[in-house]
Amino acid sequence: MIDPKLLSLLRCPTGGGALTIADESLTNRLNQMIEQGDGKVRDRMDQPVETVVDGGLVDENKQWLYPIRMGIPTLVADQAIAIE
């Protein structure tokens, strides 16, 4: 999905740490919750996430997932999805 060379250059927009690719089970779990539409999946601005993700990049502390949609990672801090 993301070239390893590119991944090594990407950094968390809030903490500056390395990012890792989210495993498939995390992506599937988040997408199931998003599809339920009950608003439990929230972003950093505490807004409900309504669009499923193709994958994601996880911060070092495993608290936030930066979504990947249509092959493009969204490294906007406010759009990071909380990982519970």
Residues whose CB falls within 8 Å of the CB of residue 61, separated by 6 or more in sequence, listed in order = 15, 17
CB atoms within 10 A of CB 11: 15
What pLDDT sits at residue 81?
97
Record the pTM: 0.93
Q: What is the pLDDT of residues 46-66, one digit of tens each?
A: 999 999 999 999 999 999 999
pLDDT score for 4: 87
Counting as low any pLDDT under 50, the low residues of the chain are none
